[in-house]
A and B are shown apart, each in its own frame.
Chain A
Amino acid sequence: MLNRPATETQITHFQRIWLYMLVALVFAFLIIPCLIVIPMSFSGSKYLEFPPRSWSLQWYGAYLGSSEWRAATFVSLRAALLTTVFATTFGTLAAYGISRAYGAASSLARGVFMLPMLVPLILVAIGCFFVYAKIGLNGTTTGLVMAHTVLALPFVVIAVLSGLASYDMNQERVAQSLGASRPWAFLTVTLPQIRLSVMSGALFAFVTSFDEVVIALFISGGQNATLTRLMFANIRDQIDPTVAAISSLLIGLSMILLVGSHLLRGREDRK
């Protein structure tokens, strides 16, 4: 087996064994920090240990029992859902406009919608903090959702643009020739066909908002502090095993989202 050729240039598996070992090490490096927290979060002792000597749900209890953590989770979920709605709607509209227009206007718009991805987050954070202070948006859901929507827009626009690129615009034309107005043709013919791209854009938008730390550190606070803000402060100041329980829950959420995005991509490929 090991002496079989492995590549086009007839190198054998045995000659490449160092490569397999290196890649396995990198995979271990990538995956261990994502998984090790989960068993530790079920530890029965007062400290984090691996492997845990006894098991309990005490840290999950601590998380669910704390009104502060619960409120922060609620704030984060609410912001992420609102961000998903706004970013997906605005991003899909913009992507459609960009893809149907041509020339300088189209590439200018494309550039503007890519900006939030290019500007360093810390700069967006202090900029928002500064302007929000003038108009009283710091510590509000509105302000947070506005900022997160802007961060998420590029992901939605990219996803929907790629969906529209592989979509046959004649479909919309034929719908119009059959009697559908342009908006109706978009809703009944185009949107159902690019829905997987829109959904994967929505997924990105949700994650972008839910996981966002830097902006939340500056502009969220008080009653509207996000989960990430609370976690950041907690990790910086002490190692509270409660965070391990929250982290495990977040990792579970990531896995669900990963599977979701994988399914979306798989269905798109089959088309």
Chain B
Amino acid sequence: MTMVLNHPGIADAEPNADALKRRGSRERRALASLTLPGAILIFLVLILPIGWLFWLSFFGPSGEATLENYARMLKPIYVRTFISTFEVAGLVTLVCVLLGYPVAYLLSQLSERTAGLLMIFVVLPFWTSVLVRTYAWLVLLQRTGLVNTWLIDAGVISTPLPLVHNMLGTVIGMVHVMLPFLILPLYASMRAIDPVYMRAAANCGATPSQAFRQVFLPMSLPGLTAGIALVFVLCLGFFVTPALLGGGRVAMWAMQIANNISVYGNWGAASALGVVLLVVTAIILYAFKRLFRVDTFEGVR
């Protein structure tokens, strides 16, 4: 007993408490500092410039404070751009769903090995530069391009079809870019559906199409909504393909922003457009996250 009483720790009810606390916060600081180099870069390249643009969007060309940059967005020319952007994004998303769902479904029903092999068809485009693919579509679709040449040679048409430098060409090119973004998350979520559910449905007396509609389809919806959100949002801010395949006839939001800078040098207007684009993107992603509990960008690539 005397040993316990003589022990120095007894006098102090909480020995070492302060030293332990200091070491705890030192460790937390050390861990936090690991994120610093990346976080500083993100601040310099992303947060600071966008914050600056946001500030700028409240000033006119001569430096006076104004809401003109936002008011201008109600003008018909801007409204037309917004409408056509949403049209293109919606159309591309719809086509991606119609083409991508069957592909993901079939792949998910095959053995892992076969599916992995066939995945090359989805993944090779994914790894190929957007610019290269857009160029290839131009080569295929232009007036003297391969498709028109073949169709004329085959006698199907006599004059070249306008396949590119318009809405059609833009949508074709964008679908090609976006399709993998839909198929990959959708395939992953379909893979995770245990085939035992389909067996159980058949066992309960469901026809194949009933089993698909009532069991498989609902279970694949989380992956599908994640893919839809991702594709739609990427379309809204897309620049390269519409700029090259639209031939100036398809007005997209991102091109409007670029033109405001490169043609008019109007930073206030470009900033306001950019800010609204960011807000719309954030709202859509947030809405999908809340409504469907999907993390859109996790697990891509």
B-contacting residues of A (Cβ < 8 Å)?
6-11, 19-20, 22-23, 26-27, 29-34, 36-37, 40, 47-48, 50, 86, 89-91, 93-94, 96-98, 100-101, 105, 109, 112-131, 146-147, 149-150, 153-155, 157-158, 204, 207, 210-211, 213-214, 217-218, 228, 231-232, 235-236, 239, 243-244, 247, 250-251, 254-255, 257-258, 261
Known contacts A9-B208, A90-B37, A114-B297; 10 further A-B pairs (Cβ under 8 A): A10-B208, A33-B137, A100-B31, A105-B28, A113-B35, A123-B237, A124-B50, A235-B134, A243-B135, A247-B136
Residues of A with C-beta under 8 A to B168? none
How far apart are A250's CB and chain B's nearest CB, in angstroms? 5
- The answer to whether B39 has its CB under 8 Å from any CB of chain A is yes
Are the CB atoms of B129 and A127 closer together than 8 Å? no
Are the CB atoms of A20 and B106 closer together than 8 Å? yes
Residues of A with C-beta under 8 A to B128? 34, 250-251, 254
Are the CB atoms of B48 and A131 closer together than 8 Å? yes
A94 to B50: give the CA distance in the assembly, Å. 23
How far apart are B58's CB and chain A's nearest CB, in angstroms? 15
Flag B34-52 by CB within 8 Å of A: 1 or 0 each: 1101110110111111101
A177 to B206: give the CA distance in the assembly, Å. 58
* Selected contact of B35 from candidates A47, A109, A155, CB within 8 Å: A109
* Selected contact of A129 from candidates B125, B239, B261, CB within 8 Å: B261
- The answer to whether B191 has its CB under 8 Å from any CB of chain A is no
Residues of A with C-beta under 8 A to B133? 33-34
How far apart are A59's CB and chain B's nearest CB, in angstroms? 13
Flag B228-262 by CB within 8 Å of A: 1 or 0 each: 00000000110110011000000000100110010
Are the CB atoms of B135 and A231 closer together than 8 Å? yes
- The answer to whether B13 has its CB under 8 Å from any CB of chain A is no
* Selected contact of B34 from candidates A20, A40, A93, A116, CB within 8 Å: A93
Residues of B with C-beta under 8 A to A255? 124, 127
Flag B141-182 by CB within 8 Å of A: 1 or 0 each: 010101000000000000000000000000000001001100
